[in-house]
Amino acid sequence: MANNNHVAYLDSIRGLAAMAVITEHYIIAYGLPCRDALCQRVLDMPPFNFWWDGGAAVSMFFVLSGMVLSLKYFRLGCHPDLQHFNLVNYTLNRLFRLWPPYLVVLGLSAALYLAATDVPFTDNALPPSSWLTDTWRANPLSATDMLREAVLLKLPENVVLLPQAWTLTIELALSLLLPVGLLLVERGAVWLVFFACLVVSLLGVSAFLLHFLLGLLIARNYRAIAGYFKTRVLRRRLLLLIGFALYTSGGLNQNSQMPESIVWAISGLGAGALLMFAVASTRLQALLSLPLLRQIGRVSYSAYLIHMLVLLCVTPRILHGMQAVTGNRSLLWLGGYGLSVAVVLLLSWACYYLLEVPSIALGRRTIGMFS
C-alpha cells in the first residue's frame, strides 16, 4: 500500500463520521445552538451542516467499511490476493469484532432502561424533544423483546434499546458478503455492479451494498487513484468540491419528493469522492493522523455504541446541574454538548480497552482452535 499510515487516517475519518452522528442526535434532541431563524436556517443547510450531517456520515461508514475491509487483499495491485483467505477465519473475525461489545452495551442499556425513571427531562431550562424523551418511555419492552435486539444479524423493525444499531446489522451482513465481492471484482467492475443490482432488487439485500462495493472498488484502485490525482492538483481540488457537494446534498432534499434511496446514493457517491481525495492528499493524511483524531478513530465503534445512553441518561443531568449556574440557552447548549461529548469519549476509551480489545483477542483464540 502507498504508505504506512493509511489505517490511521482512515480510522480518523471513521471517528469524525461517528462524531457527526453523535452531534446530529444531540441536535435532534436539543435543537441547534442558536434560536434566531436565519441562523438556524443557515446551520441547517449545506455546506454549514457538514459537522452534524449524520445521514451523510452513515453513507461514509458503509463506503469506508468496504474500503478498509478490502485494502489488505490489494497489496499487490488491482487483483485481489486471496491465496491465504480463509472464509471461516474472516467470518469469525467480523462476528467477534462487532457482536460481543454490542451485547455488553445492549445489556447495560437494558439495565438502564429498567432503572432510569428519574431522568430530569422536564425540569431543564433546555428541554429535549419528544424524539429523546419517547425513545424509551413510549416503547415498553418485554424480556423477549430485549432478547430479540441481541440478534444483531436480524434486529426487529423497531430498535429501542440502542436505536442506532440498525446500521450495525447492515454492516455485519454486508461485511459477510465481502468474499463474494472480491471474487467478482477479479472478473471486473461490471460483474460487481451486476451482482449488486441483482441481490438488492431480487433478494432484498440493503441498498447500502452499493456503498460497500464502492469502497471495495476504491480499495482495488488505491494505487491508481493516488498516482493519478497526486500530480493533478486542479483535478484533485475539483474532486474535493464535487465530493463535498454530493456528500452534504441531503440537506437540500429535506422538503423534496426525492426518494430516500436516491438521497443515500448521492451522499454515498460524495463519501466515495472524499475518500478518493484523502487517498491522494498527503497533507490531509498527515492532518488526520494527528494523535487526537487517531484516538477518536480508534474508539469510534464504542462511541457509536455508547452515545445514546449518554444522551438519554447523562446529558439531562448535566443540563439540570448547569442551569444552577446559567440560564442562557446558548451556554447551556454548548456546555451540555461539550460535556456530553467528553463523557462519550471517556466511556468509549474504557469500552475500547475493556470490551473491544478482549473481544478481538477472543476471536483470535477461537480462530486458533480451528487452525
- Would you state the pLDDT for residue 2? 44
ω into 47 cis (within 30 of 0): yes
Q: Residue 4: pLDDT band by 50, 70, 90 thresholds?
A: very low
- Would you state the pLDDT for residue 117? 66
Using one digit for the tens of pLDDT, what is the confidence trace for 156-213? Answer: 989 999 999 999 999 999 998 898 888 888 888 888 888 888 888 887 888 899 999 9
Cα distances (Å, whole numbers) of residue 239 to 198, 244, 271: 30, 8, 11
Cα distances (Å, whole numbers) of residue 349 to 18, 287, 301, 306, 346: 14, 21, 10, 11, 5
What number is the average pLDDT over the span 312-338? Answer: 91
Query: C-alpha grid cell for residue 363?
Result: 476471536
CA distance 269 to 223: 19
Using one digit for the tens of pLDDT, what is the confidence trace for 251-295? Answer: 665 555 677 878 888 999 999 999 999 999 999 999 999 999 999
Query: C-alpha grid cell for residue 246?
Result: 454530493
Closest CA to 330 of 4, 43, 7: 43
DSSP assignment of 17-43, as one string? HHHHHHHHHHHHHH--S---HHHHHHH
Dihedral sign for Cα 147, 149, 150, 154, please. positive
- Would you state the pLDDT for residue 106? 97
In the block, residue with C-alpha cell 452495551: 105
What number is the average pLDDT over the span 307-329? Answer: 91
What residue type is assigned to position 206 of the chain? S
- Would you state the pLDDT for residue 350? 97
- Would you state the pLDDT for residue 40? 84
- Residue ranges of the domains in the chain? 6-370
Question: How high is the mean pLDDT of the chain?
Answer: 89
Q: Residue 115: pLDDT band by 50, 70, 90 thresholds?
A: confident
Give percent above pLDDT 70 in the chain: 95
- Would you state the pLDDT for residue 307? 97
- Would you state the pLDDT for residue 3? 44
pLDDT at 222 over 80: yes
Per the CB < 8 A criterion, the answer to whether 39 and 32 are in contact is yes
Give percent above pLDDT 90 in the chain: 63
Q: Residue 338: pLDDT band by 50, 70, 90 thresholds?
A: very high
Q: Residue 5: pLDDT band by 50, 70, 90 thresholds?
A: very low
